[in-house]
A and B are shown apart, each in its own frame.
Chain A
Amino acid sequence: MLKYVLQRIIYMIITLWVIVTATFFLMKLLPGNPFGDAQMKMSPENFAILKAQYGLDKPEWQQYFIYMGNVLQGNFGVSYQFPGRSVVSVIQNNFKASLELGLESLIFSIAIGLGLGAYAALKHNKVGDYTAMFIAIVGISIPSFVISPLLSLYIGVKLGWLPAGLWDGPLHRIMPAFALALGTIAILARMMRASMLEVSSLDYIKTAKSKGLSSRAIVLRHMIRNAILPVVTILGPIAVNVITGTLVVETVFAVPGLGSQFVTAITSNDYTMITGLTIFYAAILVIVVFLTDIAYGLIDPRIRLAGRR
């Protein structure tokens, strides 16, 4: 197990290194120079001083190491558009709302998605199965940027049942969390259904049946418990889903989270903010994937054996 964990850690570090490096070189590709028009109004001496101040007079490989060092210390630089705001302060101020939204949507997705998948599997090849799977495939086909405006328009504005935006009380949480959860619900439901069907034909279920256990006990204790295991593996893709989803959902519902900040940064070409937040998000995702792998390795020893292949 220790060997497996070490191996995953090394992969995680390499991945993060690739991301930061790619980010650095993409920044270097940017046409023009970071000072824009300000350069025109400056004397060459002042411009040289300014360049030195930001370390841009050094050769690129040195800049690369300096950049790497800064990122390692959690220093992502200062916003281009709002020179008073550092990327880290934006993360500190806005990440909380995003995290909360993400967790709430995860609760929605796990409850509804696993339930729907288990239900479909129990009604295999009956109307209930087809209905549940049709709902799931519709869920996959309707991305968050489609469902969010629709929900906001019909439930928020026309019907007025729930607030159409902002982030004030528990009622404001329901629609964004659901809009964000929809795709995940669908993925989880399909995965859970497949997993349940696989489990249901195994010998220990037959044994349980022949022992005369009630079907309720079989489903709850034997099928669902074992079927949930492989579902853990898709937590990584789900995290991707949730994070990309927050970009849209937060923008539509005016949630003061990191996602809407990211979109604002993109639309206003706030380069340091974009790169800083990208690295931050990427790091979260890589860590989630790492934790998923470890968790799955702990639950299912076959995985770590396969990892050695």
Chain B
Amino acid sequence: MEPIAKDKFKPVEKTTNADVIVRPSQTYWQDAWRRLKKNKLAMAGLVVLIVLTVVAIVAPMFSSYDYKTQFLKDGNLKPSAAHFFGTDQFGRDLWVRVWWGVRISLFIGIMAASIDLVVGVLYGGISAYVGGRVDTIMQRILEIVYAIPLLLLAILFIVFMGPGITSIIIAYAISGWVTMARLVRGQVLLLKEQEFVLAARTLGAKPWRIIAQHLIPNVIGLIIVQITFAVPTAIFFESFLSFIGVGIRPPMASLGKLISEGAGVMRYQPHLLMFPTIIFSLILLSFNLLGDGLRDALDPKMRK
């Protein structure tokens, strides 16, 4: 055993500021960011998403081609310096079409997630916060909506309303908010019963103050995670619809549409299938990795 130095047993010097904190305390967000940075897969997802977004914005601007002009004599070219991803049967540049597809996918994903956010959070929040009979009625409605297979109804909706970006976003909006509403309601119900909310109420805090100061900051992590998962779900949704033939109208190209067209000619022109497929899978994979990482970072209790 090592000898213990005598001076270790001297009384500590008296200080006047006994409760000084040695390290600056970290906010919730700094803490979450630190945890997220440690997760290599999630960071890789974040980086890939940023790169893809930037390229999707920039690439079509700096290309001499656009997504719809046809050059029939240049049809079915293999990838080259002039056409990085080759061309399709109408001689349209696949590089530009793929990045337009990414733009559309991301746009739909973000729009859908925003609708999710507004409707889901309001519905779930009101239901849980007001409680009582309002909650019961809102929950019964939610349960019925939840049981309806909405992808099928969305197909019907788009078939009858006509394809296009707006129809897709509306169709998704009908269904997407349900999961968010359920999650937010569950969380708010849990928080409402906790002591700090009771304390705030006892001290005479107004409802809006309780919501703004206590409930929202505690639910926001959950909401962010849910949004990260809602975006790829919406992107999948659009691509699925485009693949089975009710999605974006040609000549506009979404990734699902490109994959569907590529699948039709894959035996002879595999590059038309490969490039959209790779980019599409990268987007979904990155969002899912980031979502998993965010869930671990923002809600350490959930960590398994």
Which residues does A use to contact B, with CB under 8 Å? Answer: 11-12, 14-15, 18-19, 22-23, 26-27, 29-30, 134, 137-138, 140-143, 145-146, 148-150, 152-153, 157, 193-194, 197-198, 240, 243-244, 247-248, 251-252, 263, 266-267, 269, 271, 274-275, 278, 281-282, 285-286, 289
Contacts and interface: CB of A to CB of B under 8 A. Distances in A.
A266 B159 contact: yes
Nearest to A260: B244
B72 interface: no
A149 B159 contact: no
A5 to B, nearest CB: 16
Contact of B284 (A142, A197, A240): A142
Sorted nearest first, the 8 A-B pairs with minimum C-beta distance are A149-B263, A141-B284, A141-B285, A267-B245, A15-B147, A145-B243, A285-B149, A153-B266
Among the interface residues B156, B263, B280, which one has the most CB atoms of the partner chain A within 10 A? B156
B292 A19 contact: no
A146 B259 contact: yes
A19 B153 contact: yes
Nearest to B264: A149
Interface residues of B, number: 42
Contact of A150 (B149, B161, B273, B284): B273
Contacts of A11: 143-144, 147
A219 to B, nearest CB: 18
B288 interface: yes
Contacts of B284: 140-143
Interface in B166-217: none
B270 interface: yes
For the residues of A in contact with B, the DSSP-based class is helix
B2 to A, nearest CB: 33
A77 to B, nearest CB: 15
B147 A289 contact: yes
Nearest to A196: B304
B228 interface: no
A19 B273 contact: no
B239 interface: yes
B144 A266 contact: no
Interface string B288-304: 11001000000000001
29 contacts: A11-B143, A14-B144, A15-B144, A15-B148, A18-B144, A18-B148, A19-B153, A22-B148, A23-B153, A26-B156, A30-B160, A140-B284, A141-B285, A141-B288, A143-B239, A145-B259, A146-B281, A152-B266, A153-B273, A198-B304, A244-B240, A247-B244, A252-B263, A266-B159, A271-B159, A271-B160, A274-B159, A281-B152, A286-B149
B226 interface: no
Interface string B269-281: 0100100010011
A12 B148 CA distance: 9
Given A15-B144, A137-B288, A278-B155, A248 B273 contact: no
B179 to A, nearest CB: 11
A26 B160 contact: yes
A243 B45 CA distance: 29
Given A142-B284, A240-B151, 13 more contacts: A22-B148, A137-B289, A141-B281, A142-B281, A145-B244, A149-B273, A157-B267, A248-B243, A252-B263, A274-B156, A278-B156, A282-B149, A282-B153
Of B144, B244, B289, most A-chain CB atoms within 10 Å: B244
A263 B245 contact: yes
